[in-house]
Structure 1
Amino acid sequence: MRESEQRHVTLRISAQEEGALMELLNFMYSSSLTVTTAPALLDVLMAADKFEVASCMRYCSRLLRNMPMTPDSALLYLDLPSTVLMAEAVQPLTDAAKQFLASRYKDITKFQEEVMALPLAGIEAILSSDDLQIASEDAVYDFVLKWARGQYSSLEDRREILGSRLALCIRFPYMTCRKLKKVLTCSDFEHEVASKQVLEALFFKAEAPHRQRILSAEGSDSTNRRFIERAYKYRPVKVVEFELPRPQCVVYLDLKREECAGLFPSGRVYSQAFHLGGQGFFLSAHCNMDQQSSFHCFGLFLGMQEKGAVSFGVDYEFAARQKPSQDYSSKYKGNYTFTGGKAVGYRNLFAIPWTSFIAEDSQYFINGVLHLRAELTINRT
């Protein structure tokens, strides 16, 4: 409450504000409050904001943070008036509310109906998290569209909320090129918004890995984390496609050392899908036993997604970057006639035991990253 040269000051308040104002006055003299419930503390917080008593705002915020958080209370804190939300004293409270929602709903597939009913502030808190457990960024995009269509029946309103708010929650650089093409033709986005996001995503994909890491590091300190890779259930890949002289694609899959270490003794990690000849394929990295079942080793496999009668021959080659040259070195070549749901590969890609592969002096980890490459060509002979 600002000081004034006037000796008598008249405050005009509503009847509902009287209790909160009395608590505020009491706090100014005693630095304590008598109310202990969340609704009452929120009323005092609002009064403290109105009369600019920052110390009381901090006090209320701290008390509210120390109370057990629920989805309803978290959403209530995020729904405070904008003037309150912008106050520095309230930031720890809103940050805690966002963190609670992001943690509770980090696997949105388990809470589909509940999450679909959340308001915009809740959706933003969940989708802004790096720890979101989801198959891919394509799935994030699909979820955002589904939620927006369910909440905003008007196309104009939907475009506004997608363009100004929710597009910031989608990490377009980690979407597949096939899905990015669909973004350009999606009527829910303004064409200018879609074009800007897709162009930025494609530029990021074209950057050298070290430049991508720099952009990711720069984004880690900002509110817009579009260049930060989430912990996807299916690992992103970079794909280069050729149509002539034969349909071919070159697929790059990078795995961090800790990801590989987590595969022991029998784990698997799958890549996101990529396409060749109209068919969906994926790579899978395994920790498995070698052919004689004598020791654990690193295996790499190529699988076809679709099940059905479709079959065609594919020539494939697996390679990995290797010290000291750090160039890609071919590790396995083969050809296989794929039918839906089948997979082919090599159980011991590097012809060494797992302990040698994962060792600190391993020649296959460069700056803590295993760089794999798969070349696929349709065999029409």
Structure 2
Amino acid sequence: MKYQNLDLFDPRTAVMDPEYSTTHTGEPDFAFAFDDVNFSDRILRIEILGDSIAGGSNSSGGCSSLADWARNRKRRREDFRKENDMYHSFAALDITACPEDQIICCNQIDSEDADNENQDEAVVAMIEEPNSGDEGANSDDSTWNCDSPRVMRVKTLNISSPILAAKSPFFYKLFSNGMRESEQRQVTLRINASEEAALMELLKFMYRNMLTTTTAPGLLDVLMAADKFEVASCMKYCSRLLCNLPMTPESALLYLELPSSVLMADAVRPLTDAAKQFLAARYKDITKFQEEVMKLPLAGIEAILSSDDLQVASEDAVYDFVLKWTRAHYPLIEERREILSSRLGRCIRFPFMSCRKLRKVLACNDFEHEFASKLVLEALFFKAEAPHRQRTQAAEESASSSRRFVERAYKYRPVKVVEFELPRQQCIVYLDLKRDECANLFPSGRVYSQAFHLGGQGFFLSAHCNMDQQSSFHCFGLFLGMQEKGSVSFTVDYEFAARTTLAEEYVSKYKGNYTFTGGKAVGYRNLFAIPWTSFMAEDSLYFIKGVLHLRAELTIRH
């Protein structure tokens, strides 16, 4: 580093040589100072231990896939539990020597495997007798004895405490609180062999803001090391690189587990969000991959069911799938109720379920009665709201993490049904179609409503873009169909009406009576007696403000 005409060093006015620059991240590049005694004020001594009590080494360097990485990591966690139990047996030792070097034991621990009060055990300050000068530089002797993990080898690095402290609260606390005298320049870290490569990558990153490893297992190891040493910038960097690598269902599920495995969960949120989007896109048609989806864990199911783009017939189908999955994975009724109340029940959008299915929710033993009653009551209040109030609630809900009032892209459009028993059985069915939904019907598309029931029979509405038989132009049509096919005969009085704004009354278009047999339908190919282009015009009489309100009023004929 060269400075021009400076009596005192001031980093704000220092002029660096051209070869020293910032990285593409915008952070200063101190790669030239890595392990260079001229730019260092401390010595970092890294003691590398065996990975397990049995002396095995499970370094991820040998992992060829994320599945190998996950298996090795699980095995290391199990080994740590055994080691941690053994380390606690040494807690009664009376260590009274004065400190010379600061030794930090960094045996691997995951926050998901430890109580909150024990999470600090991942970084434990230890006291060591001053070296007499007779020991070798790479001596394996330490305060640990008996059957404690053996030091396999030692690495020493020249480090700059300001650079490391600027990147890591861990090192900042270590250098600001741990060293009693300025001449005590050596700090010792004790790590497992499986962490060696990741720690070296992390230390280099803190100098140059880049990594050399490019594999997913290697990046995950660095990410875990960065979490342990509180280097949030490195965790975010690893997350970005992992997001750019090809994702698989296995890797996506592994990424979803990260927030429960790390202390700085915010740093991996972009990666977990990308994993959720991947799973939601891959399995958006759950009927197509039903066997595969049924095997997914809870986190994967939540990611899929949280998507607005889920391709399902209706929210009733989502409810049925959730019950099927929970019954397969949680055979005990107590566990099933807990999962539905705390997790999966919140993924079902009850306001868009049919009233017929909502009645079944109240009678379902899988749900806690109080929880089910609350959800059904909320859904019924939503259904009773005017469309503009429903859209307001959905917009407010979109700003939060919950999506229960946001409508999905259902195969069958939700309808509002008002039923009467007296003076005779009757139902009024309301169907709203948005401008883009109507536009997608051209030139020969159809959109179907959810089923509704009258007199024990299932019916549905269907909107079509038809060709007018007399005038040979496209037009908007509306039909009423009955689900039952075969020899069933059912007679109804019907009326079709429409409006374009909430303020106006419904205008009756057609009415009559019809006897359904063999699955036939009744309706009108050109409901408004105008061409499609006029129907879709911005100033169309029947299609203003992007929403067309349709009503079918049905009565059983006696």
TM-score, normalised relative to structure 1: 0.96
2:31 matched residue in structure 1: none
Residue 202 of structure 2 corresponds to residue 24 of structure 1: yes
User: What's the counterpart of residue 548 of structure 2?
Assistant: 370
1:37 matched to 2:209: no
Which amino acid in structure 1 is aligned with residue 514 of structure 2? Y
Structure 1 residue 69: Cα displacement: 1.2
Cα displacement (A) at 1:17: 2.2
Answer whether contact 2:500 2:545 (CA < 8 A) is retained: no
In structure 2, the residue matched to 1:183 is 361
Matched position secondary structure for 1:178: helix
How far is 1:254 from its partner?
Answer: 0.3
Alpha carbons 1:135, 1:232 under 8 Å: kept: yes
Question: Is 1:6 equivalent to 2:205 in the alignment?
Answer: no
Equivalent of residue 473 in structure 2, options 295, 315, 318 = 295
Separation of aligned partners in 2, 1:69 and 1:143: 25
1:205 pairs with 2:399: no
1:344 to 516, 519, 522: 522
CA distance in 2: counterparts of 1:56 and 1:147, whole angstroms: 38
**1:259 corresponds to 2:428:** no
> Which string of whole-angstrom CA distances, capped at 9 and with x for unpartnered residues, describes residues 145-172 of structure 1?
1111111111111111111000111000
Q: CA RMSD in A?
A: 1.6
- Does 293-302 or 245-254 show the bigger shift? 293-302
Unaligned stretches of 5+ residues in structure 2: 1-169, 180-185
Match of 2:250 in 1: 72
Distance in 1 between the 2:421 and 2:483 partners? 21
Larger radius of gyration: 2
Given candidates 281, 302, 305, the residue that maps to 1:124 is 302
1 CA distance for matches of 2:365 and 2:446?
38
Decide whether aligned partners of structure 1 residues 86 and 341 sit closer, same or farther in structure 2, where only a CA change above 3 A counts: farther
C-alpha contact (below 8 Å) 1:323/1:364 kept by paired residues: no
CA-to-aligned-CA distance 1:76-128 (integer Å, 9 cap, x gap): 10022525386222111111111111111111111111111111111111111
Alpha-carbon shift at residue 361 of structure 1 (Å): 0.7
Give the unaligned 5+ runs of structure 1. none
* Matched letter for residue 521 of structure 2: A
Given residue 450 of structure 2, which amino acid in structure 1 is its aligned partner? Answer: Q
* 1:172 matched residue in structure 2: 350
* Equivalent residue, structure 2, for 1:239: 417
Aligned residue type for 1:202: L
Measure how far apart 1:205 and its partner are: 0.8
For 1:190 and 1:323, how far apart are their aligned partners in 2?
41
Q: 1:2 to 1:322 in 2, by over 3 A?
A: same
Instruction: Look up the equivalent residue of 1:37 and give its one-letter code.
Output: T
CA distance in 2, matches of 1:321, 1:12: 75
Instruction: Tell me how far 1:293 sits from its aligned partner.
Output: 5.3
| Shift, 1:366, TM fit | 3.4
Matched, 1:159 2:331: no
Which whole-Å CA distance do the structure 1 matches of 2:353 and 2:420 have between them?
Answer: 20
Give, in angstroms, the shift of residue 379 of structure 1: 0.6
Using the alignment, how far apart are the partners of 1:105 and 1:53 within structure 2? 34
CA contact (8 A) 1:274 1:282 kept: yes
Counterpart Cα distance in 2 of 1:340 and 1:166: 40
Deviation at 1:73, TM superposition (A): 1.0
* Aligned residue identity for 2:178: Q
Please name the residue that 1:62 is paired with.
240
For 2:171, give the aligned amino acid.
R
CA distance in structure 2 between the aligned counterparts of 1:178 and 1:323, rounded to whole angstroms = 29
Describe the SS at the equivalent of 1:13: strand
Aligned residue number for residue 286 of structure 2: 108
- Is 1:46 aligned to residue 224 of structure 2? yes
- Alpha-carbon distance in 1 for matches of 2:448, 2:201: 58
Give CA-to-partner distance per residue, 1:261-287, whole Å, 9 cap, x none.
Answer: 111111111000000000000000001
Query: Which residue of 194, 197, 207 corresponds with 2:372?
Result: 194
1:214 is aligned, of 389, 392, 398, to 392
Does the C-alpha gap of structure 1 residues 163 and 324 become closer, same or farther in structure 2, counting only changes over 3 Å?
closer
Larger mean CA deviation between 235-244 and 308-317 belongs to 308-317
Asked if the contact 1:134/1:140 (under 8 Å) is kept, the reply is yes
* Contact map agreement 2:232 2:264 (CA 8 A) in 1: no
State the match for 2:5 in structure 1.
none
